[in-house]
Amino acid sequence: MKISLLIPVFDYDIVALVHSMKGVIGTVPELCEILIGDDGSSIEFREKYRLLEGGGVRLIISEKNIGRASIRNRLALEAKGDFLLFIDADAMFPGTAEAYILKWIPAMTRARVLSGGTLYHDSHPGDPDKLLRWKYGKKKEQIKAAERNKHPHASFSTFNVLIEKSVFSKIRFNEELKQYGHEDTLMGYQLKKAGINILHIDNALVHDGLESNKEFLGKTKLGMENLSMLYDNVTDKRAFSETVNILRLYNKLRFFRLTGVLAGVFIRYRDRMEIRLDSNNISLRLFGFYKICMFCTFRMIHMRKNILPIF
């Protein structure tokens, strides 16, 4: 069974990542190629990607930015391997690239979809402006495989995932999702509905590209908006809610008729919460409260089909 390594990228330096993996093509026969998906990057970065071509590395170019889902689907169509290994451009290996690839191989006979997990540096980021993303990642995303396997579809992430190509050809990324957020949530739900198991293993990559506090808050907004729209569009809302913690909480709040209250809190106190979350005194409890309040607000917007002044 052959593996195609797929790296979607937009204006990010992946030279070290690709070089470390390129040598593995000659030493581990299962890894047959590396595909770089340039999603409308600037000329400066595109030239860097071009220099990486050869020796099993191919560059797939989109002249304009088509979005995370579309570029990944295009890479999958171009891939030659039996399995597709998607990793994000801002990932790095905690050990050697060869050890990382070798760890996937025995697990490929056990499941058609495998998730490796995410790690964060143990040390506090030198830049306090990236504290929120690091704290959230350490607490919520750096989870051992044994824990993730308790709720495998709810823990699904496309940051570091190996998928059988025949499975991916039937369940692709939804290209209607143009902005950031919850593409992996939707795919996890689709895999669950299709009866396809996900096996989580401890083969994590380090998430190295931490966003600033403000950037992460901006991505959180996009993610909550996407999630609310997805909730309106899925056919089985109960099954979809089981794969997303914030939806389970939202449904409990709706039962007790508290969603309007939290939306009101968000509209009134959003600025204060964001100031606190962009400080040296970051509370993940406050961030969780901020997210559910924001989600309740988006549900009001999408159910009433109007736009509130807060956004």
Q: What percent helix, strand, coil does the chain show, rounded to 5?
A: 50, 15, 35
Say if residue 84 is in the same domain as residue 29: yes
Look at residue 195 and tell me if it is in a domain: yes
Is 124 a residue whose pLDDT tops 90?
no
CA distance 143 to 134: 14
Say if residue 87 is in the same domain as residue 181: yes
Mean pLDDT of all residues in 162-185: 86
pLDDT score of 26: 87
pLDDT score of 302: 86
pLDDT score of 195: 95
| pLDDT top residue among 271 and 176 | 271
Could you give the percent of the chain with pLDDT greater than 70? Answer: 96
Which of 189, 210, 231 is a domain's end point? 210
Which of 166, 191, 210 is a domain's end point? 210
Tokens 């198991």 belong to: 197
Which of 166, 189, 210 is a domain's end point? 210
Say if residue 91 is in the same domain as residue 235: no
Say if residue 53 is in the same domain as residue 135: yes
Domain carrying residue 266: 216-304
Say if residue 39 is in the same domain as residue 185: yes
How far CA 27 is from CA of 24, 103, 228, 259, in Å, comes to 5, 14, 46, 56
Say if residue 203 is in the same domain as residue 230: no
Say if residue 99 is in the same domain as residue 167: yes
Q: CATH number, domain at 117? A: 3.90.550.10
pLDDT tens digits, 205-230: 999 999 999 999 999 999 999 999 99
CA distance 155 to 116: 11
Is 311 a residue whose pLDDT tops 50?
no
Say if residue 60 is in the same domain as residue 133: yes
pLDDT score of 68: 87
Query: How confident is the prediction for the chain on average, in pLDDT?
Result: 94
User: Phi and psi at residue 274, in whole multiples of 5°?
Assistant: -70, -35
pLDDT band at 182 (very low <50, low <70, confident <90, very high): confident
Mean pLDDT of all residues in 240-256: 94
Say if residue 199 is in the same domain as residue 273: no
Say if residue 147 is in the same domain as residue 280: no
Say if residue 202 is in the same domain as residue 220: no
Mean pLDDT of all residues in 51-62: 97
Look at residue 106 and tell me if it is in a domain: yes
Say if residue 184 is in the same domain as residue 271: no
CA distance 274 to 278: 6
Look at residue 310 and tell me if it is in a domain: no
Q: For the chain, how many structural domains are there in total?
A: 2
Burial environment of residue 20 by CB neighbours within 10 A (0 to 12, 13 to 18, 19 or more): middle
Ramachandran category for residue 181: left, alpha or beta (phi over 0 → left; psi -120 to 50 → alpha): left
Question: Which of 46-50, 152-156, 273-277 is predicted least confidently?
Answer: 152-156
